[in-house]
Amino acid sequence: MKLHSYESLGGKNLILDYILKLSKDEQVDGFSVLEKLEEGRFDELTIKPWRGKISEVYFYKHNRIFYVIPDGEDIYLLHACRKQKNKTEKQDSEKVIKRAQEIGEILSKKFI
């Protein structure tokens, strides 16, 4: 599968930037998650449906990455954050929804 990370208007890879700001142990686990997603090894990951067709994958110390799979070949990584409460923070939810809608418009798909 091919991973597509969400990028800022300036071309900054926001998922990679998030992972690189974590501790070394968290970075190793974060990159391991990306590798398993790319290789389609979903059974080795902690994945939970989030909303609509958006899922989240958990890794080291309550970190998570939200993503969508519009077809059998591509995975779009929408947002990465640390889960701090039982519910997704409002600002994180808004980012995920906005980015899913943007990707959906580009691909002519509906994720939420």
- The sign of the dihedral angle between the CA atoms of 51, 55, 59, 64 is negative
Domain ranges of the chain: 2-107
| pLDDT tens sequence across 35-85 | 999 999 999 999 999 999 999 999 998 999 999 999 989 999 999 999 877
CATH 1.10.287 assigned to domain 2-107? The reply is no
Distance, in Å, from the CA atom of 109 to the CA atom of 61, rounded to the nearest integer, reads 33
Per the prediction, the chain carries an average pLDDT of 94
Identity of the residue numbered 101: Q
